[in-house]
Structures are given as structure tokens and as C-alpha cells.
Amino acid sequence: MQDDKKSGSLNEKLRKIRLAFIEQLPAQLAAIRDSYAALIADQGGPDGLEKLHRLLHTLRGGSASFGLTVLGAIAAEAELAARKAMEGEIARDQDWQRLIQEQLVRLQREVEQLALAEQTSFPDREKVPPLRRDKVERERKLVYICEDDEHLARNLATQLQCFGFDVSVFVELEEMRLASLTEQPDAVIMDIVFPDRPLGGTDLMLELQAEGPRVPTVFISGRDDITARLAAVRAGAKGYFVKPVDMTELCAVLTVLTQVEKPEPYQIMIIDDDPQLAAYHAEILEDAGMRTRVVTDPLASLAALAEFKPDLILMDMYMPGCNGMELAKVIRQSSTSFGIPIVYLSTEIDSDKQLHAICMGGDEFLTKPIKPWHLISSVAVRAERMKSVRARMVHDAMTGLYNHTAGKEHLKLAAGTARRNGSQLCLAIIDVDLFKQVNDTYGHAVGDQVLITLARLLQQRLRNTDIVCRFGGEEFGAILTGCDPATAIRIMNEIRESYAAVEFRVGETTFNSTFSCGIASLADCDGPVALWKAADEALYEGKHGGRNQVAAWRGEQ
């Protein structure tokens, strides 16, 4: 019912935009007549024919997009004649003038018929599936473990709880089945082999998935044969681990499977001199969950570009002041906007011109009129790619956390916000203890796992409002917003104890790692630079006070 209301609301908005387009058609047609008259009187200058072509192109594109097929077809014929004259394919003789005049008369008649109509119907927009980029969120992710070896199951549960998961353990399949029917978990860790049932785990998951929604499932087993692995795949496996289970890898998979992604909406800038058509496309994209900024003057686009910071630019080809190809080249001159995808949206159907436009700085060419779902999907694919590129620029490649530069910038912004709002802010700087010994003893690959595990633990245990960064090497940072020093110390001590309880396995050997942490409060510092220095000094005190501890900055000594 809610989707129907939303669809109806959008259709009403689009209908009003279409009516506004029809209402301004007389003025648009008058501009075309004036342009033609100036051209015939040799008062239009060298750009007179180009202006006539652009105005007819705009009329054609808007008419086609708003379902005015007859008007669009007439405009297309006139546009073609103008383009051929502009490119020197035909002469601007009396035959050409008579053809344009005939098209102008036909356009006038069609516009008058539209104006006289009491109602103008606008077909309901086709229903398109919304862009689903998020999941239902649970404060702490619930994981079911079904394993007939209770000792192993309890050990797995203890390790997972260190990462902030809520865990329920079941040693019998029927017990697990009944619990799943009562409360659906966020993920399942399922053994494959049970007493008298060599594929009992996969059989149960197939049964549960037939009865309700699919739950992300990771299978664990002592079996490493193709039969067991194939059964797991058929039961919807998202992961398969052979015992003994590598806990860091298992937690990595579970983190991804249970992560609730709430990305910022795509930011789309629409540059089109036709305000109704721009509004039409903006409504379609906003209905799909995107943010839009409409620019009807291409010469004002650079200022809007710097302010809005779009993930993609949707641009018309023919506009006053400069055409789309020229504007694309201007945009590409700036290093900050060089990589932004530019998608042309035009009625231009000449494949050579489309290719030329792309070579001049565009990424894709879409032809008007375009189906809403085609527009949404084309824009979303390229916008997502742009967001991914930007994410790689500010995130550490190994851990996925914000890198040093981004971390410093976030600290600066958070400090400014805290000062304006009068809120509390703490910075925690974390350093893995004796990390060089881990690398020297077990190798750099294991050392990387130690760092990745700490990164995931920090992400899991801290709030969504907190910002976690990797400052470099084995040093991490946590910007704790709205947090007083006492609370920050308690939180970081809880994470420290959980991290110390995580077991790392190398062959038959297991070991544990610890970290030291320094905490400082913005209330005790002059700004973000002083806050960083204070937290670093507190970390130094913790390291030299015996490691594996959280130390608070005690002020200038």
C-alpha cells in the first residue's frame, strides 16, 4: 500500500511537470520562429543556424520524453533539416526555407491542439524496483552456531562474542530448526556432519530456506571432499571452513555477511537548459533514492560542481553558451573532477556524433526518450563505480579503514563540530604491542591478519557515529564523538580485553596479541592538532607502563 501511494505521488509530480512543459510550448515555439526569422534576415550572425538547430533539438527531446509523440516527430524532421544545413549537406535555399516553414506551421497546429485539450493524460510511470543498498539493522548481530561438538561450539561462541556478536549455540539439528522458526538470526554457522546424518547440516539449511527467507550460512566441517562442498553450495553456502577453523577468517566472513550498509545516496548533477525536462529526470532519480542538483545554465555548472560534489553528471548535448562536449572538456581540466562520470542524455542518434562526444570527455550516451528504469540503472552503475574509486582514495587498502590523511581530516571536522555544538570528543590512539615480534616469529602474512582482526574488532565494537582509522603500520585511531573520557576509557578497555582473548592460529600453534591505547579529550586541548599530540603522549605512557593497557592524558606535566 505504501509503495502504491509513493508511486501515485510520483506520477502526480511528473504529470504536473508535463503540464508545465505544455504550457510553455507557445513561448518555446515563438523562440524557434524568432530564431528562424533572424536567420532568414541574416541577423542571427554566424551562430544563427546552430541556435535554430539547438532550439529544435530541445523541443524534440522534451516532447519525446513527455510522451508527445506527434510534436516530437515534427520537431525531429525540422531538426534534421537544420542540422543538414548546418553541416553543409544541403543548401539554405528556397526549398529548405519552405520545408522549415511547413514544419513550423505543423508545430503551431500541434501546440494549439495540446493547449485546447481540457486534460492531458500522462501514463503512469512504469513501476521499477527500488535501489536496495541496505539491510534491516539489528543493534548486535545474532549468530546461530549448530555443532554437535559442544566444546568446539562454545569455543567458537566465545571468540565471536569478542567481536561483538550475540551467539546462540545448538548441538542438535531439531533444536536449531525450532529456534530459527521463532527468531531468524543474522547468520548461521553450521556443521555438516551430525550423528547418523552425514549431510545433516546442509539438509536442515535446505529445509529452512524452503520455509522462509535465506539466512547467510557458513559451513564448517572436518570433510574437505567435493561431495560435502557441493552439498554446501546447494544449501546456499556463503563460506566453507575445514576444521580447525581459522577464527580471524571466519570473523571476516561474518562481518561482511552481517554488515548493515547505509551508504550515502548517489549525488547526480543534471545539466540541461530545459527546466521541465531536467525536473522530470530529477524526479525519477530522486524517487529511486538519489540526490539531484539541476543546473539549467551550463556556464554556472562549475560553481555548482564544486559545491555539490556529484558522483555523476547527466548532461544534455546542445545547450546555449556552450555545448555538452565543450563543457565536458572544461570539467576534465580540473583534477578534482577529472574522474567524475559524464553521461550525455540527448536525442542525438548519429552514432558518429555520439562517439565523438564520448571521445571529448563523456563516458556514456543515452538517447531521449529513455525508460525510467534504464535511466536509473545506467546512472546507478556508473555512480557506484565513482563512489568506489573515491572510497579507495581515502581508505587503507588492507584494513578498509580510513587512511592517515582521511583520518586527520575527519578529526579536524569532528573537532569543529564538537566546538560549535558544545559536545564532547575523545581521540583514542591504539598501537599493537610487540608487533615486530609477531612478524619476525610468524611472518608478515600472519602480522597482516593480526592488524586486520584489530581493525574489524574496532569496527564491530564501536558505534556507527565513531570514526576508525589506520594511521600507519600497527597504529590505529578511533574518533569517539559525544564521548567523555571516562566512557572512552571504559569502551577501549572492553575492546582491549576482547582483543587479548582472540586466538590466532598458525599451523598447530596458537598465540594472542594485545594493544596499548592512549586517550585524550578535546575539552583539555586547544584543537585537533593538540588533541592528537595529547593522545599520542598518553599512548607513550601506556607503552612504557607495561603495555596492554589504556592510558588517559594527564595534561601538561
76-127 pLDDT, tens digit each: 888 888 888 888 888 888 888 888 888 888 988 888 888 766 444 544 444 4
3.30.70.270, 3.40.1160.10, 2.60.120.10, 3.20.20.70: CATH of 404-552 = 3.30.70.270
> Structural domain boundaries of the chain?
2-116, 142-258, 267-394, 404-552
pLDDT at 125 (0 to 100): 47
Q: 267-394 sits in which CATH class? A: alpha beta
Q: Which pLDDT score is estimated for 513?
A: 94
The pLDDT of residue 133 is 42
Q: Where are the alpha helices (DSSP H) in 66-93?
A: 69-86
pLDDT for 230 equals 96
Domain with residues 2-116, CATH architecture: Up-down Bundle (1.20)
At residue 266, the pLDDT reads: 87
Query: Does residue 175 sit in helix, strand or coil?
Result: helix
Helices 435-442 and 444-461, axial angle in degrees (round to 10): 130
Give percent above pLDDT 90 in the chain. Answer: 31
What was the pLDDT predicted at 531? 94
- What does the pLDDT read at residue 37? 87
User: What grid cell was written down for 479?
Assistant: 574518533
* Separation CA 191–CA 152 (nearest Å): 11
Parts of the chain with a pLDDT under 50:
1-6, 118-120, 122-130, 132-136
Q: Rounded distance, CA 32 to CA 53, Å?
A: 9
| CB neighbours of residue 278 within 10 Å | 22
pLDDT recorded at residue 360: 66
Residue 365 CA: distances (Å) to CA of 276, 324, 348, 353, 358 = 21, 11, 9, 10, 7
Residue 1's pLDDT is 43
Output the pLDDT for position 138. Answer: 52
Closest listed residue to residue 424, CA positions, set 465, 470, 458, 363: 465
pLDDT (0 to 100) of residue 80: 86
Using left for φ > 0, alpha for ψ between -120 and 50, and beta otherwise, residue 344 falls in: beta
Which residue is associated with the grid cell 550516451?
Answer: 365
> What confidence score (pLDDT) does residue 202 get?
95
Q: Look at residue 480 in the predicted model and tell me its pLDDT.
A: 95
Relative orientation angle of helices 48-65 and 69-86, to the nearest 10 degrees:
160
Please determine whether the domains at 142-258 and 267-394 fall in the same fold group of CATH: yes
**142-258 under CATH 3.30.200.20, yes or no:** no
> Which residue from 493, 482, 481, 484 is spatially nearest to 518, judged by alpha carbons?
493
Closest CA to 229 of 188, 256, 192: 192
**In Å, what is the CA distance from 267 to each residue of 292, 301, 314, 383, 451?**
6, 15, 11, 8, 34
Dist CA 118 CA 62 (whole Å) = 21
Rounded to whole angstroms, how far apart are CA atoms 198 and 509? 30
pLDDT at residue number 353: 73
The SS3 call for residue 221 is strand
